[in-house]
Chain A
């Protein structure tokens, strides 16, 4: 990562590597590493072991650090009774679909707005950006009644993945990010391509998109996280047990499941994303930090 070369930060390298500064630095480092481990890993440890405890042990005062009589059955029950495999599959399916839809439609629209000069382009862009200020909660009711009976088409999208994918395409922030990026690609490149007889589609495919990998990565990560984190919308538009997402599924089952099994389910639900994150953490971190936003 960027810092290894020793860029000057708030406190100088020299100050940190000498005498008192050095002692303070190392003390602080140890304190912070221990503290952060406790604060961020501790609860996860508590969760994994807590799900192994029996109902009696959970209610014990003071709580035990290690499960005395581990009950792996809780995990098995969670997996079977909540049909976690199905819930996880649904969530990933919606997330991947959301990424594809947003990449295709938003990149195309941003490209058009940036380079192809459609009529009313500026008006459309302004109207899109206006929605940035409108929180999802304000629109949840009318959006919901729209989804259950699409205007003109009169199609009901309830329990259909399109109810998650299509509203996400209407994401002004993505279009803004992509357009800004495309704007900064020199027009000369476009002109050269045009002279060579390339169509706009070809230009997009072989010139613009290859140059835009970092920003496309950012949009993909944001799209993934949005689906992963969303709760109320999937709860409303995916009311059937077969179509629920992980979060909604756990919530629905928590109403009819013993506490330890709910926690066991929470642990299992977290495992795939944590693994994905640990594998791709370098890409995700650099994507989120260096790629998109800078002060």
Chain B
């Protein structure tokens, strides 16, 4: 082979390989070059999206102010979409290792985060020096993020579910806004009156798709005093009077009274979209659902109030709780971890700053005065400060939440294997909400068998 030909062929091979060499340039760099110019750089996710204009501005202002106070730290914000933790995307980022240095997750994600091996133990860094309010944080929340004596995340929010209701529709239907339904029978009666307003308004609305149906079934079951799994977590425990009552209540409202609207198979955003459009009288959810209705679904926060979760004949026997925190990606330098902690402390855990900057939030279209985020332990200094600020700047009628706060309902967490079980329970929920002849006993029996099978295969 002549030399020129050889050279040409080599050039060709080069071109062929180009696709691969180019990829090297395109992958994320900068994860490691953190100490450029003596500054510590951290990436943080869950920045609000562009459509949430005020929230985004608040966040950016917080970053600017934080960097002014800490000139040696650079915070790079990453937005991961309107729902900071959309399970498939979250899984993809975890599996792909593209989570940010400091990343957002739910309490229920701890197992998955540990499985992915992406998070680091931050126990030695979490203390009063990095997070001034650390000792005020409810120990139960820290416990959730602890595994085998190691701490994996800093809690930033905690909530429990209650009954959220639309005051405007309540008034239109001649219901007393200050006396929300206390039992499921009350809910049914109120729903009937609200749906009589017509115009496609549902008195009560409920999920039945995308695993959210099972999630709410769990909460409804807790209100009845039931539980999803037996104590040892080996068997399903909802095919009983309590589980039947949950489905019967829904069936009565859906087909007995026709007070749940005709559009079913709803998942998270579908219900909130309808709620934002003023088409939903009541639904169960955490206080921040009202925030979402306002910030994403064009609703008005003044319209909404919250009561404790109703029970079957009196107060609810339990409710579903959850929360969120920030994890730290493995292999961060100690400086980065400390910088991340400082940022979280500033933006999430300081009364009067960041998420607790109620003075700033008051004139904005966001509710202040919601009974959340329930971060600080009862009686702690931080809790008192936060409460005073909240009361002083409330722009919603705190009376609406007074009953919710005054009636503490025992909080229970999610069952193990939650997503798989929820997928099974979706079918029971969709059955009762889309089939007028649904056989509740059969639906529960099938779901029970399925969950037992699933648990047996898992162990």
Binding site for B on A (CB under 8 A): 55-56, 59, 80-81, 83, 101, 104-105, 108, 144-145, 148-150, 153, 155-162, 165-166, 169, 199, 201, 235-236, 239-241, 252-259
Contacts and interface: CB of A to CB of B under 8 A. Distances in A.
Contacts of B27: 155-157, 160
State the 6 A-B residue pairs at the shortest beta-carbon distance, nearest first. A148-B96, A255-B269, A256-B82, A59-B200, A81-B51, A160-B26
Given A160-B27, A199-B8, A255 B16 contact: no
Contacts of A165: 19
A162 B26 contact: yes
Contacts of B268: 255
A162 B19 contact: yes
Interface string B2-16: 000100100010011
Given A153-B24, A155-B23, A148 B95 contact: yes
B32 interface: no
Interface residues of B, number: 43
Contacts of A252: 81-82, 86
Given A201-B12, A252-B86, 13 more contacts: A80-B50, A153-B24, A155-B24, A156-B96, A157-B27, A158-B93, A158-B96, A239-B92, A240-B78, A255-B269, A257-B273, A257-B296, A258-B276
A105 B16 contact: yes
10 contacts: A105-B16, A149-B97, A153-B23, A158-B92, A160-B26, A162-B23, A252-B82, A254-B269, A256-B51, A256-B83
A258 B297 contact: yes
B49 interface: yes
* Highest count of chain B CB atoms <10 Å: which of A155, A235, A256: A256
B80 interface: yes
B82 A253 contact: yes
Given A59-B200, A81-B51, A153-B24, A158 B98 contact: yes
B92 A199 contact: no
B28 interface: yes
B199 interface: yes
* Highest count of chain A CB atoms <10 Å: which of B16, B28, B277, B297: B277
Contacts of A105: 16, 19
Interface of B: 5, 8, 12, 15-16, 19-20, 22-24, 26-28, 49-51, 78-83, 86, 88-89, 92-93, 95-98, 199-200, 267-269, 273, 276-277, 279, 296-298
Contacts of B83: 255-256
A152 to B, nearest CB: 10
A101 B23 CA distance: 13
A212 B267 CA distance: 51
B277 A258 contact: yes
Nearest to A108: B16
Contacts of B95: 144-145, 148
A159 B99 CA distance: 12
A258 B299 CA distance: 11
Contact of B199 (A59, A108, A150, A155): A59
A255 B276 contact: no
A247 to B, nearest CB: 15
A235 B8 CA distance: 40
Given A160-B23, A162-B19, A162-B23, A256 B98 contact: no
A113 to B, nearest CB: 14
A79 to B, nearest CB: 12
